[in-house]
Amino acid sequence: MKIRIDLHTLGRALERGTHKEEIIDVLLTGVDARAKGHRKSRAKVFDYGQKRLGTFYEQKKVEVIYTIENDTIITVTVYVFYGSWEGRK
């Protein structure tokens, strides 16, 4: 299946602390998450171990919202959450 990352998604990725490679990783190896309507979602927890906006975080969870048209995954947006998750990835 092909993956098309929308420009809106890339813009939100930069603002929220992720990048194209992590988005692709989430789509390929993440776990299904809940999404509204006919959209789909996948999420994955990454080790982070850095400060973001002055606060140190162990991990970050990247969640990609997407749709599927024909044989192509088309991203809608991406969310990034910072913290620590049990069970991790």
* The predicted structure's pLDDT at residue 72: 97
Mean pLDDT by runs of 10 across the 89 residues of the chain is 95 96 98 92 96 95 97 97 79
Domain ranges of the chain: 2-83
Whole-structure pTM value: 0.92
- How many C-beta atoms surround the C-beta of residue 38 within 10 A? 7
* The predicted structure's pLDDT at residue 31: 96
* The predicted structure's pLDDT at residue 87: 62
For 1-88, strand residue ranges (E) read 2-4, 31-33, 40-52, 55-69, 72-83
